Structure 1
Amino acid sequence: MRIDKAQVAQRFARAHQSYKTHAVVQQQICQQLMAKMQQYIVQQKLSDQPQPCFENVLEIGCGSGNLTDLLLREFQIQQLTLNDLYAEVLHAYLHHPQTTSTQIHGLIGDIEQLDFPQSLDLICSSSALQWVEDFGALLCKANQALKPQGYLCFSTFGPQNLTEIKQLTGQGLHYLSMDALQQQLKQQGFEVLHCSEQLESLSFEHPKQILQHLKATGVTGTAQGQRWNKTTLTEFYRGYEQFSQQHSSQQKSYTLTYHPIYCLARRMP
């Protein structure tokens, strides 16, 4: 499916204020990714300093700053380049820097069309690379931009992500499997340090709340052909009954599935 990046940027910009409140799973994914980075990179990189030091870091799709805040808190970074599709997300970091020891730069636009900063120690991304259309080409650019032994660490989503929505509407991204991600990493000259996946489910009292949740997190950027009216909403609510659960004394709940995949890799020397 061809992704309309302008529409994606518009939807996420519109959801910017509500994202941090509603993107509960994405926040947890950032924390998980950071924990894995600390486990697989920090111990290897610097065992004699309280914080690992990176001279030059690029974050792809920084969004509301969940991962950015963790990077600035957990690592010593000399230069941090923040990328996203729209400039509003960088305002807090470029105009009100949270750290005096890190030089923060903006790189606004579609990362597939932009030149990467060079001589990077670390490229990281959380819950953003599923929007990339040519993942192999992006990995190639990442490999060329990284120093030898530089790290690429990211979370993305797998084929079961938002499966309920895709089954009911036919709308959704084409997600790569964990095996496919590992294969592409190896093909582009990376040593895979870690790959893992999990399923996370959110529960809602009514399918209407699920649509509100997706809108508040900007995910409706994929719904290019979906038009909601009274008839389509009624059909959606009725169809969502197949994904409902009801325990003996509890109110019926409706699930929404997320399928995060975590990959940590290193450029071959």
Structure 2
Amino acid sequence: MIESVPDKRLIADSFSRAASTYDQAAAFQRTVGSNLLARLPAGFAPSGIVDLGCGTGHFTRALSTLYRQPVLGLDLAEGMLRHARRHSPGQGGWVVADAELLPLRSESRDLIFSSLALQWCPQLPLALKEAFRVLRPSGLLAFNTLLEGSLHELRDAWRAVDDHVHVNRFTPAAELESMLAGTGFGHWRCEPETHVLHYPQLGELTRELRALGATNHNPGRPAGLGGAARLRRLTAGYEQFRTAQGLPATWQVAQVVMVKTAAGERS
């Protein structure tokens, strides 16, 4: 069976609605993005930097401070960009953009940074192809993305309730590495990370996901959690995972750094 892919408009609307609450709930996102920043090579001096899927602009500002220059923020969600613009005076501009069709000239940038955004691309190979086009020779794409296994506890708990898709699907690690190998980038590395967060109650996890805009974006998705009986079954299903630290929520993350080698350079 061919699975439907998430609708970009639904994704953009969801994150736009979450713009005012995102930063208060984004501790995990900050950690993962900071880990990506730490993987940028020492001595790298890019000219022309893009924060792709910039959200509220946290890492746009961090990149600007690190490299002492304005950074262009791109995002599919207009609400996120409005929030970022208000909180980021002096930045290099904010543009509504689709990662699969970037509004940028070919070979015009040295660095494209993207933290926890590309998992929302229905066709990730297109986004990688666009990044390759926009980067200059020796330019760098640094991104992270969620992998299969993320929120597996929530997915398993929902199976005790019904057969609908309630949790976003993410790319298996082997499939991602196959995609990376098929790009034109001469050098790349992909490093996995596992993060386990804990919550006292299931409601705190679901409220945080809503605050982040990271709700179910699959077509035909059920609305909300349903009635009281369904919620009780979901809660009971999740309770089986409880540890002394609370209810776990696992996130599997791939940290990827790719270099567009100069023409004629051997990979």
Task: Report the TM-score when normalising by structure 2.
Answer: 0.85
1:28-39 map, 5 Å = 28-37=31-40
Structure 1, 139-148 or 105-114: larger mean CA deviation: 105-114
Q: Does residue 1:88 correspond to 2:79, yes or no? A: yes
User: Greater strand percent: which structure?
Assistant: 1
- Tell me whether 1:150 sits opposite 2:139 in the alignment: yes
What is the identity, as a one-letter code, of the residue corresponding to 1:254?
A: L
Report the Cα distance in structure 1 between the residues aligned to 2:88 and 2:17, rounded to whole angstroms.
23
User: What is the number of equivalent residue pairs in this alignment?
Assistant: 249
Are 2:211 and 1:216 equivalent residues in the alignment? Answer: yes
Match of 1:42 in 2: 42
**Among 240, 254, 262, the residue aligned to 1:261:** 254
Structure 1's unaligned 5+ residue stretches are 46-51, 247-251
Q: Deviations over 1:4-34 (max 9, x none)?
A: 2222122212221211111111010111111
Q: Distance in 2 between matches of 1:147 and 1:114?
A: 15
Deviates most, 230-239 or 166-175: 166-175
| TM-score using structure 1 length | 0.84
Counterpart contact for 1:186–1:192, Cα < 8 Å: no
**Aligned: 1:107 with 2:107:** no
Q: What residue number does 2:192 align with?
A: 197
SS at match of 1:29: helix
Residues 207-249 of structure 1 deviation map (CA, whole Å, 9 limit, x = unaligned)? 1111111111111142652232222211111110121113xxx
Aligned partner of residue 20 in structure 1, secondary structure: helix
Confirm or deny: 8 A CA contact 2:101 2:127 kept in the other structure. no
The aligned counterpart of 1:240 is: 238
Q: Write the letter of the residue equivalent to 1:225.
A: R
5+ residue gaps, structure 2, are 159-164, 263-267
Q: CA RMSD in A?
A: 2.1
Kept in 1, the 8 Å contact 2:141–2:259? The answer is: yes
Q: Which amino acid aligns with 2:42?
A: V
SS of 2:150's equivalent?
Answer: coil
Pick aligned residue for 1:56 from 43, 48, 63: 48
Please say if residues 192 and 263 of structure 1, whose CA atoms lie closer than 8 Å, have aligned partners that are also in contact.
no
8 Å CA contact 2:132–2:185 kept in 1: the answer is yes
Q: Which amino acid aligns with 1:121?
A: D
What's the secondary structure of 2:259's corresponding residue? strand
